[in-house]
Amino acid sequence: MNTTTILDLIAARETAARSALEQLREQQSKLAAEAAGIECELADLTTTRHTLTKILEHEVIAPEPAVISEPYQQILAVFSADRGALRAKDVCLALGIGTEPKDTEGIRAKLKRLVNRQILTESQPGLFTLSSERT
């Protein structure tokens, strides 16, 4: 074998090695960019979870702001331990407001919020009573 042939083989091998190395570096760069994107998403999700957890903790621990407001106090005054279940329309009548759908739907929404806060219970769809803890 002559020297020129050996040098040509080495040059060809160097070219192949450089090409393989370049391809690996391109893949490495793409993977690094993908990993950075996933790290950003994970950071966003962690922040979101942390914020939501704080909000929910505050919501559970904080005094019930909806109950403090006058409209909710008026609604709760309609309910008593000896009174049976009431419908939104009954609450409207007791409060002396209209019984049009816009009125009853507004009251129903407030009643549902009070159910969500476990101040009222909805024994049957549309029938509301004070929860056992409030009676």
- DSSP 8-class letter at 86: B
Mean pLDDT of 121-128: 90
Mean pLDDT of 78-94: 86
Q: For domain 65-130, say whether CATH 2.40.360 is its number.
A: no
What does R_g of the chain's alpha carbons equal in angstroms? 35
> Is the model more confident about 89 or about 68?
89
Residue 63 pLDDT greater than 90, yes or no: no
Measuring CA to CA, which residue among 66, 63, 54 is closest to residue 112? Answer: 66
